């Protein structure tokens, strides 16, 4: 995956189906990425680095593509992968995964079962024991990796407005959220729109 030279929205789509893996002392967690959002840096009113904002909390965003950026929202860790060259602060938020390995431990970590285990950005990090300790590290040079070879190919990808982005002008409605059509683990997916997991992938 080229996290530096491709457009952030292209990377957000290409990440769908890739296998996210977290190796921990308690075992390996993994899941297929089924939902992402692109954040386009200094011009994007919804991005943490809008207009060049630069604080210690967002410093990882200014590093080179492939850097892990984790911030906290309402006590939940939110996993992002930085894109573009150093000092061009853009990123992709990983919003949901379809579990692959370690589901029993994911259920225990979340205290729930079914799609609610990891159908949201804060849910998947808790399920996979991903914490802010990974902030600033490289995605494939740490305990957190993405395996492209073991990934799946989405049967269909849907683009929509991002979630929870009010009052940001045109940026509120820009189609920068991408998800695997019909996958029940996508956040906010209505049950009537669910597909069988096998039908979500080519």
Question: Per residue in 44-62, pLDDT tens?
Answer: 999 999 999 999 999 999 9
Over the range 79-96, which residues count as b (16 or more CB within 10 Å of their CB) and which as e? bbbbbbeeebbbbbbbbb
Quick one: pLDDT at residue 87?
Answer: 97
String of DSSP letters for 113-133: -GGGGTSSHHHHHHHTT--GG
pLDDT at 66: 97
> What integer best gives the mean pLDDT of the chain?
97
pTM of the full structure: 0.97
pLDDT at 97: 98
Report pLDDT digits (tens) over 94-149: 999 999 999 999 999 999 999 999 999 999 999 999 999 999 999 989 999 999 89
Q: Residue 140: what pLDDT?
A: 87
pLDDT digit string (tens) for 158-167?
Answer: 999 999 999 9
């Amino acid at each position: 995956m080229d996290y530096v030279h491709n457009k952030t929205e292209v990377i957000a789509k290409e990440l769908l189906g890739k296998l996210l893996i977290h190796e921990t002392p308690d075992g390996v967690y993994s899941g297929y990425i089924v939902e992402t959002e692109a954040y386009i840096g200094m011009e994007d009113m919804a991005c943490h680095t809008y207009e060049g904002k630069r604080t210690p909390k967002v410093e990882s965003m200014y590093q080179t593509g492939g850097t892990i950026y984790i911030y906290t929202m309402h006590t939940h860790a939110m996993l992002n992968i930085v894109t573009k060259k150093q000092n061009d602060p853009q990123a992709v938020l990983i919003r949901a995964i379809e579990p692959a390995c370690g589901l029993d431990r994911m259920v225990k970590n979340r205290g729930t079962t079914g799609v609610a285990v990891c159908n949201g950005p804060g849910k998947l990090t808790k399920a996979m024991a991903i914490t802010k300790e990974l902030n600033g590290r490289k995605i494939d040079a740490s305990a957190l990796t993405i395996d492209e070879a073991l990934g799946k190919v989405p049967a269909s990808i849907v683009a929509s407005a991002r979630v929870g982005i009010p009052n940001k002008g045109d940026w509120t409605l820009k189609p920068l959220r991408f998800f695997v059509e019909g996958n029940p683990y996508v956040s906010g997916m209505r049950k009537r729109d669910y597909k069988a997991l096998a039908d979500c992938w080519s």
